[in-house]
Structures are given as C-alpha cells and as structure tokens.
Structure 1
Amino acid sequence: MLELQSIVKEWQPPQGVARPLLRGVSVSVAAGETVALLGSSGSGKSTLLRIAAGLEAADAGSVRMDGQDITALPPERRGFALMFQDFALFPHLNVQDNVAFGLVEQRVPRKAARDQAVAMLARFGLSAYTHSKVWQLSGGEQQRVALARALITRPRALLLDEPFSALDADLRLQLRAEFKAHIAEHRMATLWVTHDEAEARAVAVRGYRLQDGVFCPIW
C-alpha cells in the first residue's frame, strides 16, 4: 500500500509571497487499486506526484510503502514508475532500448534486458517497431512504449500525470482499458492525475478534487 501522510508544501513564486499549495494532504492506495486526483492547473496535483516519486521534497509529512517510511529514499530506490503526459521517451534510443532502460539501470545484463523488452513490446503489439526510433511512432504507439517501459521493471506504484491529454478520444478509450487491465494484473498502487472526471470515474475506485490545498472526495 502507498500512503501519503499529512503532506505539506508551500509554493514560492519567482516574485511575490509564498502560498500554501498542499495543506496536510493524506491519501492511501492499495495494491492493484487506482485513485484519481482532479483539480485545476496549479492546484498541486503534479507536485504531489513528484513528492510521492521522490523528485521533490515535502515541507512536512511522509511517504510510506507497505508500512515502510520511504520519505528519505531517493527516487531510484523507491521502485516506482512515473509517467508524464509528454511520455519522456529518449529520442536517441530505439524503441527496444527505451523499454529496456529501466532494467539496465537495475543492473540487469543488457542482453537479458533487451530480450525482456522484446517480449514486453510483443504484448503491446509493437514487435514491428523494436528497432525504430521513438519519434517515428504515432502518439498512441509512443504511449504504449512508455507504458511498456514503466511495467517492465514491475514497479510497486505507478504515478500517472495526465497520461492521455494529447491523444484523440478513441485512442484514449482504448488505452484507458489497457492501463486498467495492466494495473490490476501487476497489482500496482496507482495515483492517476487527470482533468477529465469521466476518465477518472472509468479507471479509479476513488476520486478526490484538490482545491485550496486540501482533498475533497468526489466519490
């Protein structure tokens, strides 16, 4: 279970006075469960994901995974996968090596990592693009590559920041179903940031709106 406990964060603009962004926010996400976070731009949704991932420090509060306090752990030791809306793929690597990257970082031998990447790409119908550059792929194909890269390391938690915002409606529906199936299969605790309440209700067991630094339950 992923737990964010009493997270506090102030936002300091380049000019002006600091203001509270997160006012003691708490949320828990069980293995295989998806919780949606909604809110306007600048409400602190992405900041909360970055704190969960270890990319940004909270002013107060803690992050726990399966009962262990991991607040002080660096991102690479948390075993989480964070997916941004721009996919964050490496343009200098081909599709196979993009997917294998996380395994190589975990010191899996390169050949074994590439073999696992080929198998994962086959699951997503991307075998024909193994040696392609990622910029040669469509938006939906790039999203599948990003998902394959996230899943191959078997992360304990998946943190999604507007993953489908740049895609058309039909593709969003298709990928939404794929994500939901894989999250359940791999038993990942998932925090899903989105501005689309219909999408949130389709994938998440619970939804919260982040407003004025606090969570308001939606369902």
Structure 2
Amino acid sequence: MLELQSLHKTWQPTRGDTRVLLHNLNLTVRPGETAAILGPSGSGKSTLLKVLAGLEPLDAGCVRFNGEDITALPPERRHFALMFQDFALFPHLNVQDNVAFGLVEQGQSKREARTQAQDMLQRFGLGAFAQAKVWQLSGGEQQRVALARALITQPRVLLLDEPFSALDAALRLQLREEFSQRIADLNIATVLVTHDETEARAMGQRGYRLTDCALQVVW
C-alpha cells in the first residue's frame, strides 16, 4: 500500500517568489487500485509523480510503502515505474531492447530479458517492430513501447503521466481497458495524473483534483 502523509513541496524559480506546489497533501493507494489525479497544466501533478519516484526531494512529509518510510530512498531502491508524458525512450536502442532495459538493469541476462520483452511487445501488438529503432515509430507506437517497458519489471507502484495522450480515440479506449486489467492482475498500486476526466474516470477507482496545492476528492 502506498501512503502519502502531509507532503509539502515548494519551487524556487530563477526569479520571483517561492511557489508552493504541494501543501499538506495526503493520499492512500491500495494494491490493484488506481488513484486518478486531475488538474490543469502547472498544477503540480507531474511534480507529485517525481516526488513519489524519488526524483524530487520533499520539503516536509512522508512517503510510505507497505508501512516502510521510503522518503529518503533513491529512485533505484523504490522499485517504482514512472512513465513520462514524453516517453523517455532510448533512441540508440531498438524497440525490444528499450522494453528489456529494466530487466537487464535488475540483473537478468540480455537473452532472457529480450525473450520477455518480445512477449510483452506481442501483447501490445508491437511484435513486428521489435528490431526497429524507436524514432521510426509513430507517437502512438512509442507510447505503447513506453507502457510495455513500465510493466515488464512488475513494479511495486506504477506512476503514469498522461499515458495515452498521443493515441487516437479507438486505441486510447482499448489500452485504457487493457491497462486497467493488467494493473488489477498484477495487484499494483497506481497513480495516474491527467487533465482528461473521461480517462480518469475510466481508469481510476478513486478520483481527486489537485487544487490549491492539495487533493480534493471528486469520486
């Protein structure tokens, strides 16, 4: 179970006054559950995901997983998966090796990791693109590669930043349903941030709006 307790985060621009992004923010996400967080650009949604991933330090508050305080743990020890809105794929690697990357980092052999990556790509309808470079794919295809890479390591927590923004309507609907099922099957606590309320309601068992630096319950 993921627990956020009284999170406080400020941002100091190069010029100007300090801006509060998160203030006394609390949230609990249970295994297999998706918490959807709505809010416009600049509201602090992406910053919240970076805090959870360990990429941004907190000014105050606590992040816990299964009762353990992980606030000070570096990203590689949290075993969380963060999928950025801009994919963050490696342009020098082919599609298969992009998906296999996390498994290799965990110590699996390249051969075994590539076999698992190929299986994952087949599930996402991308098996034929395994040897292609990621820059040869469309934006929607790149997004699916990023989704496959996020799931293959079976992370303890999944953090999604506008995961379907580059997909057409039909594929977006298909992947919402498929991804929601996989989250439930793997029993992963998931935090989804989006500006799209339809997407949030389709995937989130509970929904919040990030307003005035805190979360307000929507459903």
**Do they fold alike, i.e. is TM over 0.5?**
yes
Cα separation, 2, equivalents of 1:100 and 1:123: 14
What is aligned with 2:135? 135
**1:216 CA drift (Å):** 1.0
- What is the percentage of aligned positions where both structures have the same residue? 69
What is aligned with 1:33? 33
What is aligned with 1:160? 160
Asked if 1:179 is matched to 2:179, the reply is yes
What is aligned with 1:189? 189
CA RMSD after TM alignment: 1.1
Moved more, 39-48 or 90-99: 39-48
**1:172 CA drift (Å):** 1.5
Q: Deviations over 1:20-49 (max 9, x none)?
A: 211110101111100011112211111111
Letter in 1 for 2:61: G
Asked if 1:70 is matched to 2:77, the reply is no
Cα separation, 2, equivalents of 1:22 and 1:124: 35
Letter in 2 for 1:68: E
Q: Deviations over 1:84-114 (max 9, x none)?
A: 1111111110011001100111111111111
Cα separation, 1, equivalents of 2:160 and 2:173: 16
Residue correspondence of structure 1 range 40-119 to structure 2 within 5 A: 40-119=40-119
Moved more, 167-176 or 93-102: 167-176
TM-score by length of 2: 0.96
Cα separation, 2, equivalents of 1:136 and 1:30: 38
Q: Gaps (5+ residues) in structure 1?
A: none
Cα separation, 2, equivalents of 1:93 and 1:33: 33
Cα separation, 2, equivalents of 1:37 and 1:183: 17
What is aligned with 2:9? 9
Q: Deviations over 1:38-87 (max 9, x none)?
A: 11221111111100000001100111111111111110111110001111
Moved more, 50-59 or 133-142: 133-142
Cα separation, 1, equivalents of 2:78 and 2:208: 24
Q: Is the 8 A contact 2:140 2:166 kept in 1?
A: no
The count of residues paired between Structure 1 and Structure 2 equals 219
Q: Gaps (5+ residues) in structure 2?
A: none
Cα separation, 1, equivalents of 2:162 and 2:149: 17
**1:117 CA drift (Å):** 1.0
Q: Is the 8 A contact 2:143 2:166 kept in 1?
A: no
Runs of 4+ aligned structure 1 residues displaced above 6 Å come to: none
What is aligned with 1:213? 213
TM-score by length of 1: 0.96
